[in-house]
Amino acid sequence: MNRIKEKIIEYRWLILFGTVVILTSALFSYHIATSFMLITTGGDSMEPLYDDNSTVLYKAIDSVDEINEGDVISFHSQCPVTSDTIGHTVVETTEKGLITQGENNNVTDQARYENGTVTEGSCEPKVTDKNIRGKKVMHTSNDNISTTIQSIRNKAW
């Protein structure tokens, strides 16, 4: 009878240890999945920095306070004529938010006037904590990687 009790106690510890390992792995995976995002570019607005169909790795951030002029960021677009997420360079920081522009674009996303003030009713408002998604960590122009990532995203598991 004692041997059976010993085995039960041994199995309890194994089950407890296995549960801890599984939960730790799940939390780590969740942290990685929510801390970084891969976005495949569409268009030439960021040339020559990177080409159409490049893959960009962004680190998720919560505040525009973490951003400086010259950083490439991703943010949720407010314009119905653009994609849901835009990745452009920060060209100016203001008290009301960030001004962004594609490297290959002649004007900012916020429709800058010639005298430097920003149009209040422009399609794309300044980037704020509400719509910022991430800060660029790295990118690759390798079409094979982009194609592979897109096929994985589109795969119905």
> Please, is 5 exposed, middle or buried when counting C-beta atoms within 10 Å of its C-beta (0-12, 13-18, 19+)?
exposed
CA distances from 72 to 52, 99, 131 (A): 16, 11, 14
Between 156 and 145, the higher pLDDT residue: 145
Query: Is the Cβ–Cβ distance between 101 and 109 less than 8 Å?
Result: yes
Which fold would CATH assign to domain 36-154? Answer: Umud Fragment, subunit A (2.10.109)
The structural domains of the chain, with segments of one domain joined by +, span 36-154
- Of the ranges 28-42, 56-70, 103-117, which one carries the lowest mean pLDDT score? 28-42
The fraction of the chain above a pLDDT of 70, given in percent, is 59
Q: What is the pTM of this model?
A: 0.66
CA angle (136, 150, 134) in 5-degree steps: 20
Alpha helices in the chain (DSSP H): 2-35, 143-154
Instruction: Quote the pLDDT of residue 113.
Output: 55
